Structure 1
Amino acid sequence: MNQAGGDTHNYNVNNVIVSEATDLLKAPLKTPRLVARDQLIRLRRQFARPRGINAAYDVLEAEHTVFLTGEPGSGRSSAAKVLLCELPHEKGIYHELTPETGAEDTSLPPDLIGEEDRILLDLSAADAKAWSTALHDLSAFRHELLRKRAFLAVVPPRQFENGLPSEFILRTIHRPDAREVLARHLRSHQLDDAVWQPLPQQLLEHLDAHPPMRELARLVQRIVAARGAVHGRGAFAEWCETALTAQKDRTREVAELLPRLRKGRQRALLLATAMLHGARVEAVHHATPLLLKEVDSTDNALPPLERKGLLERLDTIEAEMAPGAVVCFKQPDFDEAARRYLWANLPDVRAPLGTWLGKILQLRELNDPDRESVVKRYTDLCLSSGTTDPLFALVENWTRDNAPRTTEVRAAAHILQRGVEEEQFGGDFRRRIYDWSISRPTGNLREVLVEVCEKAMSVHHPEPALVRLHHLARNEPRPGVARDALRRYVRQDTRLQRRLLARLATSQNSRYHRADADLFLDLSAFPDDFLLRASTRQWLIDCWRMVFDLVAPHRWAPGARNWLVAADAVDNVPVTNAALDILVDAAAARYPVLSRVYADARRAVSSGLSARLLETINKAQSSHLAQRSPKLEVSPT
């Protein structure tokens, strides 16, 4: 209980110090909700209204639910987000739901809906099972949606749109005008119209080819990056030329280069350079023979003094040493094309490349950004071929019990972070993290999972992140990083506190009851309005009852005492009375519990609250006496 306003609340954690967040991933400067809000603000600034969006808005406003369809690349998900944020609202918040198969959070619980919420349900990548489950739950979910005057925008999988029940209305979002999209993106980067109007002919030709919306956004980023190199009249045309050159698909150039590189060490240098693009030249030099060894090449190396110099060998693969002694290809984006071409055309190199990755992470010549980049590149290569198992295997290998806390543990966190943020395969990663969280992960893996849930998954999938953090905290051998992270996480948002309280109170698995009871004692101070809602009051009663049943008095007594101290400090009679009723109702007229609670209260709270507590206890016991045999009341002395 507290008197703080907003979504952030102080917590009474029974004098347990919450440890600082670990540093496997960069700690966000803002809470996940604020990060998501800033992303929405940026999206609205860059969004060009497509044909059909006004009709979709009318359906959403009138029916509180709309399904959006459109061609791939038309920006359906972005349109859904903007529609929801354009709705007038006073109380509710915007949030995204993530129904998943193979986990306990597969359905759409109606209690996720708050008053006047605006909710996105993106099922564009859902398989048949996930789609069927969502459809089954949507009727009950929509009933609660209407009751709470909330709104829902759904992006269905295109292959199942024809099977949509008649009660739901489908609206088509067409591709927005590419010129308007470009203009909005340029303005969002503080480029005035006078700088880029009229658009150069080469840029107009590119727009007429109907590139996907994501490619347009990336093109603007390249234009903005190029503006620092050229200034003056006509500079924008040169920025565009540089950006369009970088945007060019260089696969053919790689395909033409590869046959000229007949020796294994040449191809190893090409792949190592592509993977470590932008790293120091010494790192590429040491990484190349490691890769050659992993692929078991039979090339006979010449004595060192008879070999070509590194710069000469780099020139052979169209690369060079750039300022700062870093290795780069001569053509922009050649590194990405080389990685993808070699991955696709040399499949026998894929497994050795994963082993090589673990070894080069130990190179002293690599700094942390270099390591993060090469892990991201390898992750993207695996995902480009629809392969996640090698990534999961690396995570498990790098976080095994006998592995020290090294760069490999941090690299495992980066793999999972990249995975959960990836639109197409994010569900696969969330399911695997769920499976790990309900087992007994190693200490290193637990720390990685905690970091990924708290700092990455939480931004767009807050409820799934909560579920996994809860399981990790339940399964810790002793309170540690998972419990600390769970406390930090729910502290940010009353909605998450409510979800966790419901999970603690309604768990059907007796295996977790003792752990949940102990966990509740570290989270037993909630916002005041929780005490005045019927559902949350009952959950609090159930949790305290579980505590009194399963936890030793020396453990629960400080929590009960702190609960009463907080109630004594609240200048709100209904809240104070509710706090007393919850605690007494949970004790269920058990004399030893009530006696200990009252004895501690006399030493910790005001005489007025002690008297009110005694009165509440006596009323409860009198009610109990009317139903069962008489028992002694708690004596005021």
Structure 2
Amino acid sequence: MNQYSSTRVENPQGFTHTGSGHIYIGAQLQDSDKPSFRRIAEDQLNWLRRMLVAPSNMGRARSVLADTGTVILDGPPGSGRTAAARVLLYEYHQDHGAFHELLPDEEDELPLREPALVEHGDQLLLDLSAADDARWSAARTGLSTLRKAVHEQHAHLVVVMPHHGPLDADLEHYRVEIQRPSGKRVFWRHLRVHGIPYEHHMQRDVTVTEFLDSERPMREIAGFADLVRRAREAAPPDEGFAQWCARARKARNDRRKEVATQVADLPGAPQRALLVTLAMLHGAHADVIHCATRLLLRTLGSPPEGPPLLEHKDLAQRLTEISADAGPGGHVRFTELDHDSAVRAHFWDHMPDLRAHLGTWATSVVDVPDPHLTPVVRDELVTRIAGQYLRTGRGDGLASLAEGWSTATASRARLEAAVQALTCGLNDPDHGRLFRERIYQWCAYRRLRGEFAQVLVQVCVDVLAVSHPDQALLRLYHLARRERHTTRAGQALRDLVAGSRRLHRRLLDRLARSDLAPPVLGIFLRVCDPVLLTDSTDAARALVEESGVQLALTACWHAVLAELPRATWQPGVERWLHRAADETGHRGELLLDLLVGAAERCEEKGAVFAALYASARAAERTAPGDATRSAETTELLLDKICAAQGLGPAGPSTASDRGTRP
């Protein structure tokens, strides 16, 4: 754990964070009206369920999962194993429990043999389909213990194993080998869900037949079906299914030579700038394309065009020269399907000096005050730039770009662009791990400049917490212990653990094992909500009844009472006393026992006991419930304090005793 230090950012438009200490987080991302990533992720899972053509043995996989809580999927690459695993778990989505993907070999992730990994009703995915022998062997050592915890917690676990990898005899019962479904059925299902009428896509077409003749991975079939959909949307009314499929096939071809020839025929900077701009903002309004093209020329230092304004070529003529046009609504697209992706790849691969300028250009574009530059258009621009970084294995470059977009003077649009860039990196199957590790380093150790801290909070809340809540917990913890003059990360951390007993337990344990410096104690006071601790909904017992949680609570309260001024901790103590008064069972008394036990460990315990008692009297005046019950709670606390001091049980107090100290 890092040493406590005191660097801070004073306001969202000013100074930078120059050390590993405290962070001020501005307010510009707080009220974003964009849909949450959690909702998007749930929509994607629902979409995946609609799209999935069940592979053979899917029924048996469902049966094994229902009977035992665990199924281990085997199958050849491209058979839809991972999609099937996600759908199986989605079918067990409930109000309690949470979906999360297990990453046992990543930073600070719990090992598979750790029972605390599983909470009641969780849906767990362990995707090891691409694991090498060493990683698969290491995972197998913990599978039996993990399966036992899953069974005890009435949770569900789906493991995707390497195809034909070794499996221990005691786990063989859970193994189900699925086979690739019919490519034709998958293709038709996608077209049907995309809304293409049955009479169209059931026609025999030579393009489709040739495409499906070879056993392609499910993702390729899904991609081809999506191309057919897009071809249909862009096609004139007189074209039919055969023409849509032909356009889709052409879009799949290697078009590098075609684009290279097009670029060579456009020697002038203005037309090349228009070509790049349209490739990055494909489908945007013509006003946006025009403005963004001028911004690109300015970014690259190109001189303005010489002739008078009225002698310039108009945008319609310039679009025709690059095989593009504006539709009835003014939105500009290339006439050839997927030509934009080929243009992006060409300029990225063959003009490497252009790459750094594109990030600067995008920063200018997202701030353009044009009503046609909607959040969707901005996100698509960032996604396309991110796609080039990720396609060419330059994840570090994308990470640096996102950090650079979050300068001290960053607008909300730029901050949202930074969030989108990091989201693209996290969701990339080849680079996701790199970005999770990079975000950890930023949150725990790195200097965070400008508004980058709030970008990281947003990414943790909206993206990481959806499928990797343990990693979100750790990163928010590091951000929360460093922030000052705001509680954005701390509040996000509290909200995260409020929805998960498992995460709440893990955070309390983390806090108790830390250095318990004032920032950490501040986190504790925020997350030690007595209502959450005493709630036993959907569980055999409340968190406060668990011995490990009690030890953590006692350690943290001891540090709070010993190190912080009473004015800081009294509101938290009052909340505990109010809950103790409302909780008529033994859990309310447990809260008092923990407070007294923590005070008893203090060197100046007499003074701490007196402060606790005075706080209890103050809590009576602010109690939201029955005043008599609150007074009885105070007397019970006094009894426990006296017993802890070896004074025996206290006698009944009178009105004149109120406000006195034990």
Confirm or deny: 8 A CA contact 1:25 1:414 kept in the other structure: no
- For 1:559 and 1:448, the matched residues in 2 are separated by 29
Match of 2:600 among 569, 575, 588: 588
SS where residue 586 of structure 1 aligns? helix
Aligned to 2:349: 344
Compute the displacement of 1:599 (Å): 2.9
Does residue 385 in structure 1 map to residue 392 in structure 2? yes
Compute the displacement of 1:448 (Å): 0.7
SS where residue 451 of structure 2 aligns? helix
- For 2:93 and 2:465, the matched residues in 1 are separated by 26
- For 2:204 and 2:511, the matched residues in 1 are separated by 59
Match of 2:587 among 572, 575, 589: 575
Confirm or deny: 8 A CA contact 1:598 1:610 kept in the other structure: no
Compute the displacement of 1:568 (Å): 1.8
- For 2:407 and 2:93, the matched residues in 1 are separated by 50
Confirm or deny: 8 A CA contact 2:596 2:644 kept in the other structure: no
Does residue 519 in structure 1 map to residue 540 in structure 2? no
Aligned to 1:16: none
Unmatched runs of 5 consecutive residues or more in structure 1: 1-18
- For 2:162 and 2:349, the matched residues in 1 are separated by 28
Does residue 425 in structure 1 map to residue 434 in structure 2? no
- For 1:234 and 1:331, the matched residues in 2 are separated by 14
Aligned to 1:3: none
Number of corresponding residues: 605
Q: Which amino acid aligns with 1:575?
A: R
SS where residue 465 of structure 1 aligns? helix
Confirm or deny: 8 A CA contact 1:561 1:597 kept in the other structure: no
Confirm or deny: 8 A CA contact 2:640 2:649 kept in the other structure: no
Output one character per residue of 1:395-441: Cα deviation in whole Å (capped at 9) or x when no partner. Answer: 2222234x343533332122112222223222211211111111352
Does residue 273 in structure 1 map to residue 286 in structure 2? no
Aligned to 1:478: 485
Aligned to 1:553: 566
- For 2:180 and 2:118, the matched residues in 1 are separated by 31
Q: Which amino acid aligns with 1:318?
A: S
Q: Which amino acid aligns with 1:564?
A: L
Match of 2:639 among 609, 614, 618: 618
Compute the displacement of 1:26 (Å): 4.5
Output one character per residue of 1:313-356: Cα deviation in whole Å (capped at 9) or x when no partner. Answer: 33222122333334321112111111112222333332333333
Confirm or deny: 8 A CA contact 1:382 1:391 kept in the other structure: yes
- For 1:312 and 1:458, the matched residues in 2 are separated by 48
1:446-465 matches, within 5 Å, as 446-465=453-472
Compute the displacement of 1:173 (Å): 3.2
Alpha-carbon distance change, 232 to 271 in structure 1, aligned in 2, over 3 angstroms: closer
- For 1:573 and 1:428, the matched residues in 2 are separated by 49
Compute the displacement of 1:533 (Å): 3.5
Compute the displacement of 1:279 (Å): 2.9
Of stretches 214-223 and 45-54 in structure 1, the one that deviates more from structure 2 is 214-223
Q: Which amino acid aligns with 2:611?
A: R
- For 2:628 and 2:143, the matched residues in 1 are separated by 52
Q: Which amino acid aligns with 1:604?
A: A
Does residue 358 in structure 1 map to residue 363 in structure 2? yes
Aligned to 2:5: none
Of stretches 530-539 and 52-61 in structure 1, the one that deviates more from structure 2 is 52-61
Q: Which amino acid aligns with 2:474?
A: V
1:186-585 matches, within 5 Å, as 186-188=191-193, 196-197=201-202, 200=205, 202-221=207-226, 250-288=255-293, 290-292=295-297, 302-304=306-308, 308-365=313-370, 367-369=373-375, 370-401=377-408, 403-405=409-411, 407-439=413-445, 440-505=447-512, 507=513, 509-510=514-515, 512-525=516-529, 526-527=531-532, 528=535, 529-570=542-583, 572-585=584-597
Compute the displacement of 1:451 (Å): 1.2
1:24-43 matches, within 5 Å, as 26-28=33-35, 32=38, 36-43=41-48
Output one character per residue of 1:472-500: Cα deviation in whole Å (capped at 9) or x when no partner. Answer: 11110233321232233334444443333
Alpha-carbon distance change, 503 to 45 in structure 1, aligned in 2, over 3 angstroms: same
Relative contact order, CA 8 A, sep 6+: which one is greater?
1
SS where residue 331 of structure 1 aligns? coil
SS where residue 430 of structure 2 aligns? coil
- For 2:166 and 2:234, the matched residues in 1 are separated by 53
- For 2:95 and 2:292, the matched residues in 1 are separated by 57
Alpha-carbon distance change, 116 to 487 in structure 1, aligned in 2, over 3 angstroms: closer
Q: Which amino acid aligns with 2:29?
A: T
Alpha-carbon distance change, 326 to 85 in structure 1, aligned in 2, over 3 angstroms: closer
- For 2:235 and 2:368, the matched residues in 1 are separated by 37
Q: Which amino acid aligns with 2:182?
A: D
Q: Which amino acid aligns with 1:445?
A: F
Confirm or deny: 8 A CA contact 2:285 2:330 kept in the other structure: yes
Alpha-carbon distance change, 20 to 220 in structure 1, aligned in 2, over 3 angstroms: farther
- For 1:478 and 1:164, the matched residues in 2 are separated by 53
- For 1:133 and 1:296, the matched residues in 2 are separated by 55
Confirm or deny: 8 A CA contact 1:61 1:87 kept in the other structure: no
- For 2:466 and 2:397, the matched residues in 1 are separated by 26
Alpha-carbon distance change, 286 to 316 in structure 1, aligned in 2, over 3 angstroms: same
Alpha-carbon distance change, 191 to 334 in structure 1, aligned in 2, over 3 angstroms: closer
Q: Which amino acid aligns with 2:476?
A: L
Alpha-carbon distance change, 186 to 496 in structure 1, aligned in 2, over 3 angstroms: farther
TM-score, with normalisation over the residues of structure 2? 0.78
Aligned to 2:108: 104
Confirm or deny: 8 A CA contact 1:580 1:613 kept in the other structure: no
SS where residue 79 of structure 1 aligns? helix
Confirm or deny: 8 A CA contact 1:274 1:336 kept in the other structure: yes
Percentage of identical aligned residues? 35
- For 2:586 and 2:379, the matched residues in 1 are separated by 53
Alpha-carbon distance change, 257 to 72 in structure 1, aligned in 2, over 3 angstroms: farther
- For 2:415 and 2:463, the matched residues in 1 are separated by 16
- For 2:423 and 2:160, the matched residues in 1 are separated by 24
Aligned to 2:6: none
Match of 1:599 among 601, 608, 614: 614
Alpha-carbon distance change, 41 to 309 in structure 1, aligned in 2, over 3 angstroms: closer
Q: Which amino acid aligns with 2:518?
A: R
Q: Which amino acid aligns with 1:596?
A: A
Of stretches 191-200 and 211-220 in structure 1, the one that deviates more from structure 2 is 191-200
- For 2:95 and 2:348, the matched residues in 1 are separated by 51
SS where residue 522 of structure 1 aligns? helix
Q: Which amino acid aligns with 1:611?
A: E
SS where residue 367 of structure 1 aligns? coil
Q: Which amino acid aligns with 2:632?
A: A
Output one character per residue of 1:521-547: Cα deviation in whole Å (capped at 9) or x when no partner. Answer: 222224323233444344333332232
Q: Which amino acid aligns with 1:544?
A: W
Confirm or deny: 8 A CA contact 1:24 1:448 kept in the other structure: no
Output one character per residue of 1:98-138: Cα deviation in whole Å (capped at 9) or x when no partner. Answer: 3453x323644430212454310124466888767655655
Confirm or deny: 8 A CA contact 1:116 1:150 kept in the other structure: yes
Alpha-carbon distance change, 44 to 373 in structure 1, aligned in 2, over 3 angstroms: closer
Unmatched runs of 5 consecutive residues or more in structure 2: 1-25, 536-541, 621-626, 658-662
Q: Which amino acid aligns with 2:423?
A: Q
SS where residue 399 of structure 1 aligns? coil
